[in-house]
Amino acid sequence: MSVAVPILRTAEEVRTTVDEWRRSGRTIGFVPTMGALHEGHLSLISKAFDHADSVIVSIFVNPVQFCPDEDFESYPRTIRDDINKLEYAGADAVFIPEKDLVYPEGFSTSVHVSNLTDTLCGKQRPGHFDGVATVCAILFGIVQPDIAVFGRKDAQQLAVIKRMILDLRFDIRIIGADIYRERDGLAMSSRNRYLRPAERMQATALYRGLSRAAELACKGERDTALLCQTARRIIEESPLAVIQYLEIVDQETMKPVESLDAPGLLAVAVHFGKTRLIDNIVIDPGANYKED
């Protein structure tokens, strides 16, 4: 039976709640989201409970991480349904701030993480990761958690947050959670609901392409150009797929690699109609291949 989750609207309410938890000896887990929650988000909450006694989830559609031609206005906002899901997941509290709380009048600070943001989504979405790093720094300052959980589906975001935590000396442990997939392999995303039936059917090509490349790598193929070509060919068999990028990069630096001498990250962004999907898989030469 689910229990009503407390809804916190102000920084003061968050701090009072977190202070009470700490006084009772509880560790604090944090899962920042933009709402439109799905099973993937709930898996992040479950992961947080593996590492903390109490978990707070934030819901805030962050305007500064959207580029001018992106879907900020139409991004799905499903607060009531989200709260029901959080109650089911057992979250201890949900923080739903207004924009003016996060970015008050006169706000003029931006957090920029260099180098990691020059490739993949950072190259295609200028300023996106500045917006992500800035809002996370603000939320971390308000919540002050012991641990925070981010999904590995956005591997570049995870790398950026880890770098920011290290550089700015936040006393927070960042935990990456595995990609949560539909039965047909499509990575769960709030934007999947944008897909039309034909687009949704063809979107399964992303994981098929990534998986085939990973399988070849496990058999010993190290040529990243060939591995990318293999994944690209499978994805492009879907006529609605328009690949924005498909690259193999170093997992730490997010820089392209030419030869797979160590485990790498095969990352892809593809448009199906107006919907942009991202996905990735770790490819390890010589490892035993197993679908995740």
pTM equals: 0.95
- pLDDT tens for 85-96 read 999 999 999 999
Nearest alpha carbon to residue 141 among 94, 92, 102: 102
pLDDT for position 288: 63
pLDDT for position 290: 54
pLDDT for position 3: 72
- Write out residues in the chain with pLDDT < 70, as ranges: 1-2, 288-292
d(CA 226, CA 236): 15
Known catalytic residues?
41
The alpha carbons of the chain give a radius of gyration, in whole angstroms, of 19
Structural domains in the chain plus CATH codes: 7-177 (3.40.50.620), 190-283 (3.30.1300.10)
pLDDT for position 285: 85
CB-side neighbour CA atoms (13 Å) of 279 = 27
For residue 241, is it left (φ>0), alpha (ψ between -120 and 50) or beta? beta
- pLDDT tens for 156-181 read 999 999 999 999 999 999 999 999 99
pLDDT for position 2: 64
Q: At what angle do helices 155-168 and 128-143 cross, to 10 degrees?
A: 50
What is the DSSP code (8-state) at residue 234? H
